[in-house]
Amino acid sequence: MVNNAVNGQPTIGIIGGAGWLGQAFAGAIVDAGISTVDTLTLSYRSSRPEFLPQARWTRDNQQLADCSDIIIVSVRPEDFPTITISTTGKLVISVMAGVTLDRLAARFQTDRVVRALPNGAAEVRKSYTPWIATQGTSTADRAVVQALLAACGSADEVSNEADIDYFTGLTGSGPAFPALLAAAMMKDAISHGISPDIARRSVNAVLVGTGRLLERRDDCPDAVVQTFMDYRGTTAEALATMRAAGFDTAVRDGLEAAYRKSVSMGQSA
């Protein structure tokens, strides 16, 4: 139940509000009109950042929880044991990899808990965020959660908590996988005498253009790949060589490693 609403807007607290993802959430929430700066409470551990100076900043996470209707926990899984607040039945949204709904509910003393998995693209409002909620989370709560997460990009509620662990690798890694491909492409271009600035711009343009193309088209990415394969030209030759070198296997093994790491991080937190 919302108790601290200001002018019809819920008060929101972000534990870890000084971090990269915490700041992305805060900025997106304000930009989307879900909350105003003066209804936000953000916590930090060392030095207070200059970001959103009109927000309430605190080092006291319990104080943050007491004055917030919705608490977003945006810290690393290894920091989970240090967060010892009571939320007295409030809505809690965790973005920590691996920490289960049951553990979150027990630690924060609430049955209204959400596990969400945004990625670094939240900074530019292009994150994809899967999420799942406990049974105690109401329909109204779910609508608020969807709006909050969609402010950072797009979001889907999933039906199985194991899906969240899998998505840790698939989408939680966010820009890292395309960035890895971009780095390899840049190195190859530079090795062929292309200037670093031109190599960077050309590779970035390829990735940005690909994202927009896939976003606009309804077909599966594999269909796009097959379109290029059917031309039997230079692109088909490159794709066949990459696959023969183990590209698909490397991606599969990487995603599996990320899944295992997500589970182990939750168990050790």
| Contact (CB, 8 A) for 29 and 148 | yes
The tens digit of pLDDT for each residue in 59-100 reads 999 999 999 999 999 999 999 999 999 998 999 999 999 899
Q: Which of 70-74, 128-132, 191-195, 223-227 has the lowest mean pLDDT?
A: 223-227
The answer to whether the predicted template modeling score (pTM) of the entire model surpasses 0.75 is yes
242 C-beta neighbours (distance < 10 Å), count: 12
Q: Which domains does the chain have, with CATH numbers?
A: 12-163 (3.40.50.720), 176-268 (1.10.3730.10)
CA-nearest of 29, 12, 67, 246 to 150 is 29
Residues 6+ apart with CB under 8 A from 6: 36, 38, 39
| Contact (CB, 8 A) for 252 and 64 | no
Burial class of residue 33 (count of CB atoms within 10 Å of its CB; 0-12, 13-18, 19+): exposed
